[in-house]
Structure 1
Amino acid sequence: MRVKKWLVNRTNPEYVDYISRIAGVSPAFAQVLINRGIKTPESLHAFLNPVVDKLSDSFELPHIKIAMDRIKEAKKNGERVLIHGDYDADGVTATAIMVEGLKKIGIDVHYFIPNRVEHGYGFGSAGVEKAKEIGAKLIITVDCGITSFDAVSAAKSLGIDVVITDHHEPAKKAIGNGQEAIGEYELPDALAIINPKLLNSSLVTHHLSLLSGAGVAFKFITALFENNIDDVYDLFDLAAIGTAADVVPVIGDNRIILKEGIKLIRSGQRPGIRALKDASGIRADFFKTSLLYYILIPRINAPGRMSDANNVVRLLTTKLDAEAEELAMWLQDMNCKRQEIEESVYKEALKMLEKTEVAGAIVLASEGWHHGVVGIVASRIAEQYYRPTFILSIENGIAKGSARSIPPFDIHYALTCCRDILKRFGGHKQAAGLSLLSDDIEKFSSVISEIVINNLSEDDFVPVLNIDASVDMSDISIELIDEISRLEPFGYGNEEPLFGAKGLEVIQPRIVGNNHLKMHLRQNGRRIDSIGFDFGELLDTVESHSLIDAVFLPIINEWDGGRYLQLNLKAIRPSV
């Protein structure tokens, strides 16, 4: 377990008391709200009451009116439209949103999801050929296309219009010496480009720039229905899955999308999601946000990693229970295969890493590594070693792979600085995909490590455990837990709050279940049960009546018909 810096957020006590009074909440919860930038009665009400009426106006997206006019023209002329998606959970849900939304107005709509191995990432020649094959006059990309210059040109040469909807970073114009022209982008020659990253600064405050690919698709369809949410409400569940899967900040529109979508997922209104819940062993009458992240999304992602993701769109859009059940079991099987292959590649990568001298970045490459799992392996290694990590699979002299970063480092910008070495790249600040000649791997490793070293300090390589508030045991109550529940849904940018306490006396530490550390913690006579999942290795560091500091999330543990307070431990250390 990697040692982390503990960082407690602190605010002027008088200001905490002020927020506590105007919000009618405890000081501990007031500090949590302040940490999330909620410092006024207006922002407080908006955050704690994320309702659909507060969604941003979809017509603030760039080029949206051009796209709407083109859709109306397609409907009038009876044109066939091809939706070009992507193979991950964000891409397939965005595709399903577009397909269902356009069908609502009677468009003859088809879709194409590229195969990860056969076609590679993004909008390319295969999508153009598919449009030509079916006689489509309009291609709408979702979750891809912002850097697809050649594909857009090829489509135009065939008389096919292209509307790009994407949320990835556009390519910035180079101005020489590795520098970039700030605010100026190289963009494909498409009819319309709907990407919130192109918004000017006055609109960024609406959080549109934080949308996922599915979020952009959802806003596109809401614009098609003149922002009438009732007409598109049944698409919230698909948008929520894409929003959660792409790890975008759960604030603004994303928070509303996730909240409303989880309601629909819980209700089981969509046959495909209902069948997937059942195949995953989730009770029909029970659903919480964590199950979306850890159970449903990995299964929705699995086919795109291991096989072909077109059937995932079928699952998400089918109206037939029998078809939904068959496809859900297929997703379950795909996920099991993905887990086996991922673990194999992960172990091989760790062995290779043991023989590698790590400078700024971790760059590992091998022939035979499955393209579908390199991103997950990169995430695991980046988290374990806390270094920007690149995992590449070599085939026929080409290395393709995924990159995952650490919070202080913008990996997309770093790849932009390496563009002369790369054949292709794209993504976000924290995650990206790339390809290069296998002969250039050593050079790339050297250059990217130098960029990391030049842009980060030694402190940046130590992970930080952010603690929302320092509390005493007397502050922990069922009322505080009820207040915390008002922050849901949780996710990136709105994580479950963590609290820290010092000088806690350990009572009866022991191992329970599968290597979990269980004990009571006591302070000033107040004693609360606690559990640290997978903390068994720390049993030797604590003993009865010793004093520790702890970071935890207070929860309600329901067991044997009762409800009692419990601390879900996230970190512990001996008290100084």
Structure 2
Amino acid sequence: MNRQWFVNRTNTEFVDYLSRTCSISPLITQILINRGIKTPSDIYSFLNPDINRLSDPFELRGMKSAVNRILQAKKNRERVMIHGDYDADGITSTVLLLSAFHDMGIESYYFIPDRMLHGYGFGICGVERAKEIGASLIVTVDCGITSFEAVSLCKKNGIDVIITDHHEPFLKDVENLSSVYQNDTTSKFLLPDALSVVNPKIMDSNSPLNNLSGAGVALKLLQALDAQKELGIPYDYYFDIASMGTLADIVPLTYENRVIVKEGLKKLQKSIRPGLKALIEISGVSNRALKTGTVIFSLIPRINSAGRISNADQVIKLFLTESEDEAFNLAKELNLLNAKRQQIEEDVFHDALNQLKKKDLRSVIVLSSEGWHKGVIGIVASRIAEIYNRPAFIISKDDRVSRGSGRSIPSFDLCESLTLCAHILRGFGGHKSAAGIEIETDKINDFEEIINRIAFEKLNENDFSPVLQIDAEAKLSDLGFNIIRDIELLEPFGCGNPEPVIGSRNLDVLYPRIIKDSHIKMKLRQNGQSIDAVGFDMALDYGQLLDFPKIDAAYRPLINEWEGKQFLQLRLKALRKSRNH
């Protein structure tokens, strides 16, 4: 109950104009305005995402040369190696190209580094693997944008490299970088000297392609091959896998990502792939509508578990197998790995919390210890950052070189800030909100001081105060089945398009009770209108409810079904004492 509540409001005349013009309710109009969707044409495109309106893939810089080189490899019967990454985005990206290349008749192999043995990204081990199999072309997915040494080594060995990635590139003004960098005078970025670099991050930052995931970039490559009539199967066949990579990487579900996920979820629900069917069944969601939350919290963790504490080969086999028996066995293995991952994560999380209690809380939390499993430090960093609403780095210490993962808050750009620490790091990469670092162990304390000095200059106290964004205020009498069905038109929800939060004031609480130890249930009443409400993991608020004569509530209105009947229910997000009482 200690978050600041911020109710978004817009000039009522403008809301009414858009509402009438687009034939949507004022409530939905306000929600769309909050998402930055403010014109009739933008509203139409958002409410009607269409595969036919996806952009020309050749708008991506480097795409034409990438496609030409792949077609040359096909014509010359060359061996091609796809270099992926061990997280869900990297795995799904690998599956996309591997499947498509096989369908095209290209002799293709894959390599995904082992998190423990090789670390992150396209490195020397990947080059050695390409040499072993006799590959003359490497295509990276979800990695490679800062792999200068690996690309240089490939050139010396006569291996062409196509980089497809979506991570942040280095800027040219970063100091102390190796001489193997290619100074591209047409760009403000330092790029590896690859045959082709396809990365929306090296385009105009206002491009709608800028937020593609690794799987999204891989899908654009398939779209380009399909446009050349070279793809064995139409590229929209791969939307189910691309949607999983997109959701896994928590990219904004706007523009092309929205189309990929909306169409992909439809295909995923009806998937004929034995591996996906088995994964859905073993996750216990086969009888549920597959929405973004189901995929993110049920399917993705099982895909990620292999790369976190084992190796990604099991997931690649799961996606590619045509045997239902093998698929079910692989899915069971992933389920067991995920349970093991959960226990390891909890151990590291509680250890990190105990360490933090013994330190002063600073602008950026930096925690390190020997023995912390490298496969879960990113998740732990995310949980710590969410609890304390400040950037957090969790570092697994080794004797000489340590690896860490960072997660951030919206007002602190991790990659930009790590660039200012480049002189003390052995390596880093990632995004604005998530990044990985490699650092000499004896420099961890220095890193903590430097990153906090940077944060001191960039952040203020308001940045550390969590804010609950409320899309619109409504009376309970305004809510009905039509409004809820209109809200469903805004799906899929996720990063960049969060579930709408509605607020109502001066509510009476009727029949409050705790259910299943940690949840609360009640009726909320306003001016004679009452609606059921439930708050998951909100049992701590129960005692305060009894003390307040009236409350304000923030919630998502839903249609709940019970014994064949439908009724309205409010899914509570937060409660507070009404200001008028």
TM over 0.5, shorter chain: yes
Contact 2:142 2:214 in 1 (8 A): yes
How far 1:471 moved relative to its partner? 1.0
Contact 2:175 2:423 in 1 (8 A): no
Q: 2:341 maps to which residue?
A: 338
Residue identity matched to 1:45:
Y
Q: How does 1:465-484 map to 2 (within 5 A)?
A: 465-484=468-487
1:378 to 361, 367, 381: 381
**Cα distance in 2 between the residues matched to 1:96 and 1:67:** 18
Structure 2 residue 574 is the aligned partner of structure 1 residue 571: yes
Q: TM-score, normalised by structure 2?
A: 0.96
Structure 2 residue 105 is the aligned partner of structure 1 residue 106: yes
Contact 1:268 1:284 in 2 (8 A): no
**Cα distance in 2 between the residues matched to 1:331 and 1:182:** 45
Q: 1:186 maps to which residue?
A: 190
Contact 1:500 1:550 in 2 (8 A): yes
Which region of structure 1 is more displaced relative to structure 2, 282-291 or 451-460?
282-291
How far 1:516 moved relative to its partner? 1.0
Q: 2:210 maps to which residue?
A: 209
Contact 1:277 1:284 in 2 (8 A): no
How far 1:176 moved relative to its partner? 6.3
Q: How does 1:533-572 map to 2 (within 5 A)?
A: 533-543=536-546, 546-572=549-575
How far 1:177 moved relative to its partner? 12
1:320 to 320, 323, 336: 323
How far 1:536 moved relative to its partner? 0.7
Structure 2 residue 223 is the aligned partner of structure 1 residue 219: no
Structure 2 residue 201 is the aligned partner of structure 1 residue 200: no
How far 1:514 moved relative to its partner? 3.5
How far 1:286 moved relative to its partner? 3.8
SS in 2 for 1:308: coil
Q: How does 1:370-409 map to 2 (within 5 A)?
A: 370-409=373-412
Q: How does 1:18-33 map to 2 (within 5 A)?
A: 18-33=17-32
Residue identity matched to 1:197:
K
Which region of structure 1 is more displaced relative to structure 2, 383-392 or 32-41?
32-41
Q: TM-score, normalised by structure 1?
A: 0.96
Contact 1:172 1:182 in 2 (8 A): no
Residue identity matched to 1:237:
D
Deviations for 1:454-511, whole angstroms, at most 9, x for unmatched residues? 1001101101111100111111111110000001111100111001111111111111
Which region of structure 1 is more displaced relative to structure 2, 537-546 or 388-397?
537-546
How far 1:175 moved relative to its partner? 6.1
Residue identity matched to 2:419:
T
Q: 2:365 maps to which residue?
A: 362
Which region of structure 1 is more displaced relative to structure 2, 324-333 or 119-128?
324-333
Residue identity matched to 1:515:
S
Q: 1:7 maps to which residue?
A: 6
SS in 2 for 1:412: helix
**Cα distance in 1 between the residues matched to 2:238 and 2:354:** 45
Q: 2:425 maps to which residue?
A: 422
SS in 2 for 1:420: helix
How far 1:169 moved relative to its partner? 0.2
SS in 1 for 2:423: coil
The verdict on how the C-alpha distance between 1:285 and 1:336 changes in structure 2, with shifts beyond 3 A counting, is closer
Residue identity matched to 2:189:
Y
Q: 2:245 maps to which residue?
A: 242
Contact 2:170 2:190 in 1 (8 A): yes
Deviations for 1:326-373, whole angstroms, at most 9, x for unmatched residues? 111111011001000000000100000000112211000000000000
Contact 1:91 1:142 in 2 (8 A): yes
How far 1:396 moved relative to its partner? 2.3
Deviations for 1:413-451, whole angstroms, at most 9, x for unmatched residues? 110000001001000000000010111011100110111
How far 1:324 moved relative to its partner? 1.0
Structure 2 residue 459 is the aligned partner of structure 1 residue 456: yes
Q: 1:497 maps to which residue?
A: 500
Q: 2:522 maps to which residue?
A: 519
SS in 1 for 2:172: strand
**Cα distance in 1 between the residues matched to 2:81 and 2:174:** 36
SS in 1 for 2:422: coil
Q: 1:508 maps to which residue?
A: 511
Deviations for 1:142-180, whole angstroms, at most 9, x for unmatched residues? 0000000000011111100000000000011226699xx
SS in 2 for 1:200: coil
Deviations for 1:77-99, whole angstroms, at most 9, x for unmatched residues? 10000000000000000000011
How far 1:283 moved relative to its partner? 2.1
Residue identity matched to 1:115:
D
Deviations for 1:39-60, whole angstroms, at most 9, x for unmatched residues? 2221111110111101111110
Which region of structure 1 is more displaced relative to structure 2, 241-250 or 501-510?
501-510
How far 1:37 moved relative to its partner? 2.0
Residue identity matched to 1:281:
G
Q: 1:58 maps to which residue?
A: 57
Q: 2:66 maps to which residue?
A: 67
Residue identity matched to 1:101:
A
**Percent identity between the two aligned chains:** 51
Contact 1:507 1:545 in 2 (8 A): no
Q: 1:488 maps to which residue?
A: 491
How far 1:27 moved relative to its partner? 1.4
SS in 1 for 2:33: helix
Q: How does 1:123-138 map to 2 (within 5 A)?
A: 123-138=122-137
SS in 2 for 1:259: helix
Structure 2 unaligned spans of 5+: 178-184
Q: Which runs of 4+ in 1 moved over 4 A?
A: 175-178, 227-230
SS in 2 for 1:319: coil
SS in 2 for 1:521: strand
Residue identity matched to 1:72:
L
Residue identity matched to 2:213:
S
The verdict on how the C-alpha distance between 1:458 and 1:286 changes in structure 2, with shifts beyond 3 A counting, is closer
**Cα distance in 2 between the residues matched to 1:175 and 1:329:** 46
**Cα distance in 2 between the residues matched to 1:254 and 1:111:** 25
Contact 2:508 2:526 in 1 (8 A): yes
SS in 1 for 2:439: strand
SS in 2 for 1:53: helix
Contact 1:365 1:399 in 2 (8 A): no
SS in 2 for 1:520: strand
Q: 1:290 maps to which residue?
A: 293
Give the RMSD, CA atoms, in angstroms: 1.7
Residue identity matched to 2:192:
P
**Cα distance in 2 between the residues matched to 1:147 and 1:186:** 8
The verdict on how the C-alpha distance between 1:210 and 1:114 changes in structure 2, with shifts beyond 3 A counting, is same
Contact 1:509 1:544 in 2 (8 A): no
How far 1:184 moved relative to its partner? 1.2
Residue identity matched to 2:112:
I
How far 1:560 moved relative to its partner? 2.2
Q: 1:253 maps to which residue?
A: 256
How far 1:287 moved relative to its partner? 2.5
Contact 2:408 2:414 in 1 (8 A): yes
**Cα distance in 1 between the residues matched to 2:68 and 2:387:** 49
How far 1:23 moved relative to its partner? 2.1
SS in 2 for 1:154: helix
**Cα distance in 1 between the residues matched to 2:289 and 2:506:** 38
